[in-house]
């Protein structure tokens, strides 16, 4: 008998592609969804969502660009309505830790009447290995408006493992998992640990938010720069300077350490 269809919104993203790989390896019937898939899923084209969710029973949701975006609550509200109509029985929502906008979206999912799990993640370790800071690492300078704040960087593979469990095991319904790594690290310490495995110098330079915004605007445009700068100002105030136990609660094991993520990334040629 064919297993119930599982779908992954954001299937080409950092967490989404890992989740698709795991579900496929486990033999599940999985439907990757993105702007490049068939059926197509685009957050700006809600008319296409019913086709994308037809026959889906379990749904992983990663919102782009971020749940702090002003349009995110309306989009999540609309998505849950389409999901209810399509017969989706479970939603697993990726949310940012300490983000007020993300918490509003969590509340929408809770109120949807659909069984759900919230995967509330701290700053991804993979931001350094393949994400927004990858080019900065290669350039030898991390310039961020983070001061001396410490973060419990979380491994995206841990996030994917928790999401897969939440999609495939009924015991995770109604849970909120706070996912972090096992240590609190400053960005300066993170830079030192990356440098230790690459053998190349990497300096962390704390900058003010406006300098960060101006530099980003040249790279990604004003709207996205405003969003990312606002997010940094919000979460780099010390609110996330604590460890969560979501990985342990969901999987019964310890989360992977940042240094282990760095060693594996270096061995795989992430910074070659």
To 5 degrees, how large is the angle CA 207–CA 212–CA 217? 165
Bridge pairing between strands 141-144 and 56-61:
unpaired
The pTM for the full model equals 0.96
Q: Give the C-alpha separation, 127 to 231, whole Å.
A: 15
The distance of Cα 23 from the centroid of its chain, to the nearest Å, equals 17
H-helix or E-strand spanning residue 90: strand 90-96
pLDDT for 3: 54
Please, how many CA atoms are within 13 Å of residue 186, restricted to the half-sphere of its CB?
13
Distances (CA, A) of 130 to 69, 182, 193, 254, 262: 22, 21, 16, 23, 11
Domains and CATH numbers, the chain: 5-267 (3.40.50.720)
Given a contact cutoff of 8 angstroms between Cβ atoms, the answer to whether 166 and 92 are in contact is: yes
Place of tokens 């990726």: 94
- Which among 55, 102, 58, 54 is positioned nearest to 76, based on CA atoms? 102
Q: Supply 176's token pair.
A: 């909120």
Cβ-based neighbours of 15, under 8 Å, separated by 6 or more: 62, 94, 156, 159, 160, 163
Q: Give the C-alpha separation, 88 to 223, whole Å.
A: 33
Greatest CA separation for the chain: 57
Q: Supply 103's token pair.
A: 């918490």
Q: Supply 105's token pair.
A: 């979206």
User: Helix or strand or coil: residue 59?
Assistant: strand
CA end-to-end distance (rounded Å), the chain: 45
Q: Give the C-alpha separation, 10 to 63, whole Å.
A: 7
pLDDT for 132: 86
Give the dihedral of Cα atoms 63, 69, 70, 71; nearest 10 deg.
Answer: -30
pLDDT for 231: 94
Tens digit of pLDDT per residue, the chain (272 long)?
Answer: 355 699 999 999 999 999 999 999 999 999 999 999 999 999 999 999 999 999 999 999 999 999 999 999 999 999 999 999 999 999 999 999 999 999 999 999 999 999 999 999 999 999 999 988 999 999 999 999 999 999 999 999 999 999 999 999 999 999 999 999 999 999 999 999 999 999 999 999 999 999 999 999 998 899 999 999 999 999 999 999 999 999 999 999 999 999 999 999 999 999 99
pLDDT for 131: 86
């Amino acid at each position: 008998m064919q297993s119930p269809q599982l779908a992954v919104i954001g299937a080409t993203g950092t967490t989404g592609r890992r989740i698709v790989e795991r579900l496929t390896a486990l033999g599940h019937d999985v439907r990757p969804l993105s702007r490049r898939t068939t059926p197509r899923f685009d957050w700006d084209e809600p008319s296409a969502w019913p086709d994308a969710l037809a026959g889906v029973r379990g749904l992983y949701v990663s919102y782009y660009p971020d749940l702090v975006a002003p349009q995110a609550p309306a989009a999540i509200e609309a998505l849950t309505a389409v999901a209810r109509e399509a017969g989706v029985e479970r939603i697993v929502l990726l949310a940012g830790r300490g983000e007020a906008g993300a918490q509003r979206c969590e509340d929408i999912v809770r109120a949807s009447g659909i069984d759900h799990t919230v995967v509330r993640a701290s700053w991804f370790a993979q931001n350094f290995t393949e994400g927004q800071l990858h080019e900065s690492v290669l350039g030898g300078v991390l310039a961020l408006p983070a001061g001396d704040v410490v973060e419990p960087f979380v491994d995206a593979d841990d996030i994917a493992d928790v999401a897969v469990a939440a999609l495939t095991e009924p015991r995770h319904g109604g849970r909120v998992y706070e996912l972090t790594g096992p240590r609190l690290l400053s960005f300066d310490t993170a830079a030192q640990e990356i440098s230790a495995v690459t053998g190349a110098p990497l300096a962390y330079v704390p900058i003010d938010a406006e300098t960060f915004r101006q530099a980003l605007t040249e790279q990604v445009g004003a709207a996205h720069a405003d969003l990312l700068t606002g997010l940094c100002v919000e979460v780099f105030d010390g609110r996330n300077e604590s460890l969560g136990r979501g990985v342990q609660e969901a999987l019964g094991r310890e989360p992977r350490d940042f240094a282990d993520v760095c060693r594996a990334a270096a061995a795989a040629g992430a910074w070659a």
